[in-house]
Amino acid sequence: MPNPTAAMLVIGDEILSGRTRDANMHHLAGQLTSVGIDLKEVRVVSDDRSAIISAVQALSSAYSHVFTSGGIGPTHDDITADCIAAAFDTPIDVRDDARAVLQVHYDRSGTDLNAARLRMARIPDGAALIDNPVSAAPGFTLGNVHVMAGVPSIFTAMVASVLPTLTGGDPLISRTLRIERGEGDIAGPLGELASAHPELSFGSYPFQKDGRYGSNIVIRGTDAAALEAALSALSAAFPSA
């Protein structure tokens, strides 16, 4: 059975303006790979209602899962929850279960659960809450879309909350061979090996260090035996590696 597929949608003007360097994509990519879900596409869009809605609809119909990051805080530019509801044509309002989570959290610190903070309890009908052990305000899953915060520590915690609830396929394994030859010398034998092993993927990631050229060849797949066979063949082709 092929692995489930996934896309990520990063929401936020701050990434597109270059003010903030996104860290969540790299984290999610590694996590999904480790549980056997294939991340196939990432999109970054601005805090714009129609851009978010179209991206959610396109990605949720094309992939098994969609993971979003950003735009679920208390300020006026946090419009993700409402856009997800609109994308699925589902009503959204402050929900009692989410409000209760926030109430407990803010009572503890003696902070007023004012109208702005209460926006974080706006959850679409039928969505399941995603636990946020860092700052309480929950994420949610609606259909195949998992909606999470953009702050990296909270995003990471929410990914840890939601991943065990999903069914992964076979974990993707990878082996790397460092070859100290120019990519132009490696390309021929590598291409032949890739043709002989359609069940594996072969990537070449060149480097230049101390004036010497080389490349890390990464072989990926779910079949450990095929992977080892390909690695042996490649090592044999470049005995100095």
Residue whose structure tokens are 């926030």? 102
- Residue 97 or 192 with smaller CB distance to a second copy: 192
- Binding of residue 219 to a second copy (CB under 8 A): no
Residue whose structure tokens are 């706006």? 122
- Binding of residue 77 to a second copy (CB under 8 A): yes
- In angstroms, what is the minimal distance from the CB of 95 to a second copy? 18
- Binding of residue 89 to a second copy (CB under 8 A): no
Neighbouring C-alpha atoms within 13 Å toward the C-beta of 158? 28
CA angle 167, 172, 173 (to 5 degrees): 145
SS3 content of the chain, % helix, strand, coil (to 5): 40, 25, 30
The site string for a second copy over 30-69 (x = CB under 8 A, - otherwise) reads: xxxx-----xxxxxxxxx---x------------------
What is the layout of strands, in order, in the sheet containing 201-209?
173-179, 212-221, 201-209
- Binding of residue 5 to a second copy (CB under 8 A): no
- Residue 142 or 219 with smaller CB distance to a second copy: 219
Stretch that binds a second copy, among 84-92, 124-132, 200-208, 221-229 (CB under 8 A): 200-208
Measured between alpha carbons, how far is 118 from 175 in angstroms, rounded to an integer?
48
Measured between alpha carbons, how far is 2 from 37 in angstroms, rounded to an integer?
9
Token digits for 180? 């100290």
Closest CA to 127 of 80, 164, 91: 91
Four-residue CA torsion sign, 164, 169, 172, 173: positive
- Residue 90 or 99 with smaller CB distance to a second copy: 99
- Residue 86 or 186 with smaller CB distance to a second copy: 186
- Binding of residue 201 to a second copy (CB under 8 A): yes
- In angstroms, what is the minimal distance from the CB of 11 to a second copy? 11
Applying CB under 8 A, the residues found at the interface with a second copy are 10, 13-22, 25-33, 39-47, 51, 73-77, 111-112, 114-117, 119, 151, 172, 174, 182-188, 190-191, 194, 201-206, 218, 220
